[in-house]
Each structure stands twice: as C-alpha cells, then as structure tokens.
C-alpha cells in the first residue's frame, strides 16, 4: 500500500530494454516497483539489482489469468506501464497466419489484457502508459503484424483514456523510433539498417532506453496531470521522414550470402 508519498508501480516487460530503463527511472523517482516479465528469472535478477522494497513477478500478457494474478497480487496501484512486445519479418503473401497472430496476441491483445486489469487495479488518479512504436504511424514492408498491432494500440490507448477518465486515471502511450534494445538487435545486425534509420532521423542519432523511460516518468508524474489519450512520438523526428527499407536491406544480405 502507498504510504502517502511512495507510489506503487508495475512494469510489464520490465526485465530488459525500455522496460528495465523505465523500472530504474521510476525507482529513482521514488516509486516502489514490481518488475513483471515473461522471463521470471530475469525479472527477479532485475528486482534484486534495484534492491528492497522492489519486487518481481512472472507474467505472460497473452494469458489473461497470468495477468490477473499479477495485478490482483499487487493490490491498489498508482502506475502501470506495459512494455511487452516483439516483432517478426515477412511479406504478407508469405507470412503464416500463426506468425501474424503471434505478434497481434502480444502487442495488441496483450496490451488490452494489461489495460483491463490495470484499469481495475489502479487507484483513482493513477496512470497507465503503453509502449507503442513509430510503426503505429509509419508503415514498413515486411512488418505488417507489428505495424497493425501498434496502430491498433494507439486507438486502444485513446478509448481507454475515455473510459477511465471519469476516475481520473490517465492513459497515454509513448511511440519510440529506433532504440538499441534486445528487441531491435536482430535488425541492427543487418548491414545498412542502423545507418538508414539514422539518415531518416532528424536529430541524427538512435534513441536510448533512457530517452523513452524519461518520457514515461513524465507521463506518470503530477506534471502531466492534464494529459490523457496522447500517443507521444519520441523518435528524434523520424516521423517527419520515411521509414527505412528494412526488407530491402535483409534481401540484399540474403543475396550476398
């Protein structure tokens, strides 16, 4: 329970990348953090790095009972952040339906399940933040599932803001551009991909997990108390240019191998 000053937060997908940076940033901001992740051992290791009174939980966002157990076990919350997600690559005409569904299940249906149980557990005046993507607004060949899921997440965020607003719960999303994380490591290993991203980013650099975490902390703070239903682009201006030709770089690598 909150002691009146300490806020209680859960970070879903908090064991690595943006989620881990967010857990660290919220802990530094005075929150008591629970790191929930599919990788339960990783979550426990990260919680141990933060030290007491921070905690860990194992969760699968595609399994509603798993999500419900985590939220029910935490009790009243002030902050919920959902960073769970993954992507795959393949042309629509080649992609097995199960591969498409797998991304939708985590990135969109999973986000709905987290929002459902966060909305039931957050105190009045709490904050829910979902991690979306530049791909929610910019299409990328070979990324149909991820683009569709993140575009859907933008609208889900707005609907949740409408529904939870009467209780003072603010629902927002952050939409990162290219950030070096375990999620983007495979794409970054393809020659030319990172350079193409940076060439199409106005500020001329990739993002860091801390760039995104700092924005999440703001969205969960009293300083953003009149902001809800927002999808905040944090991409160095990449939304002003074109999306990199990821599929083209991959095909070139395949041809050379």
Assess contact for 149 and 101: CB atoms under 8 A.
Answer: no
Nearest to 179 by CA among 117, 223, 135: 135
Position 257 confidence tier, pLDDT thresholds 50, 70, 90: confident
pLDDT digits (tens, 9 = 90+) for 14-32: 999 999 999 999 999 999 9
Full 3-state SS string of 170-207:
EEEEEEECCECCCCCHHHHCCCCHHHHHHHCCCCCCCE
Spans of all domains in the chain: 7-182+207-242
Q: Annotated catalytic sites, by residue?
A: 146
DSSP annotation string for 81-125: EE-------B-TTT--HHHHHHHHIIIIIHHHHHHHHHHHHEEEE
Mean pLDDT of 141-163: 98
User: What is the spatial distance between Cα 128 and Cα 119, in angstroms, rounded to a whole number?
Assistant: 8
Mean pLDDT of 44-64: 97
Lowest mean pLDDT among 185-189, 202-206, 221-225: 185-189
Percentage, residues of the chain above pLDDT 90: 94
Reply yes or no on whether the pLDDT at 225 is more than 60.
yes
Average pLDDT value for the chain: 96
Backbone angles phi, psi at 49, to 5 degrees: -65, -40
Assess contact for 146 and 87: CB atoms under 8 A.
Answer: yes
Nearest to 20 by CA among 177, 178, 105, 131: 131
Instruction: Count other C-beta atoms under 10 Å from residue 188's C-beta.
Output: 14
Going by C-beta distance under 8 Å and a sequence separation of 6 or more, which residues neighbour residue 4?
none
DSSP 3-state assignment of 36? strand
Going by C-beta distance under 8 Å and a sequence separation of 6 or more, which residues neighbour residue 227?
170, 172, 219
7-182+207-242: CATH topology is Rossmann fold (3.40.50)
Reply yes or no on whether the pLDDT at 2 is more than 70.
no
pLDDT digits (tens, 9 = 90+) for 156-197: 999 999 999 999 999 999 999 999 999 999 999 999 999 999
Going by C-beta distance under 8 Å and a sequence separation of 6 or more, which residues neighbour residue 251?
none
């Amino acid at each position: 329970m909150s002691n009146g000053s300490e806020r209680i937060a859960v970070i879903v997908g908090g064991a690595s990348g943006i989620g881990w940076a967010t857990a660290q940033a919220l802990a530094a901001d005075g929150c008591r953090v629970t790191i929930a992740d599919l990788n339960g051992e990783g979550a426990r290791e990260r919680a141990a790095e933060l030290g007491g009174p921070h905690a860990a939980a194992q969760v699968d966002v595609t399994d509603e009972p798993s999500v419900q157990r985590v939220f029910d076990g935490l009790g009243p919350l002030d902050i919920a952040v959902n960073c769970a997600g993954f992507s795959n690559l393949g042309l629509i005409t080649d992609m097995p339906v199960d591969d498409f569904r797998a991304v939708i299940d985590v990135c969109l249906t999973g986000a709905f399940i987290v929002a459902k149980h966060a909305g039931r557990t957050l105190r009045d005046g709490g904050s829910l933040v979902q991690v979306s993507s530049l791909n929610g607004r910019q299409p990328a060949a070979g990324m149909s599932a991820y683009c569709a899921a993140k575009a859907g997440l933008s609208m889900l965020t707005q609907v949740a803001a409408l529904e939870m607003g009467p209780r003072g719960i603010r629902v927002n999303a952050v939409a990162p551009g290219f950030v070096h994380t375990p999620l983007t490591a495979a794409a970054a290993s393809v020659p030319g991909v990172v350079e193409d991203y940076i060439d199409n980013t106005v500020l001329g650099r990739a993002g860091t997990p801390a760039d995104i975490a700092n924005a999440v902390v703001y969205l969960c703070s009293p300083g953003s108390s009149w902001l809800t239903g927002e999808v905040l682009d944090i991409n160095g201006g990449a939304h002003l240019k074109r999306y990199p030709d990821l599929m083209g770089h991959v095909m070139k690598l395949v041809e050379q191998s």
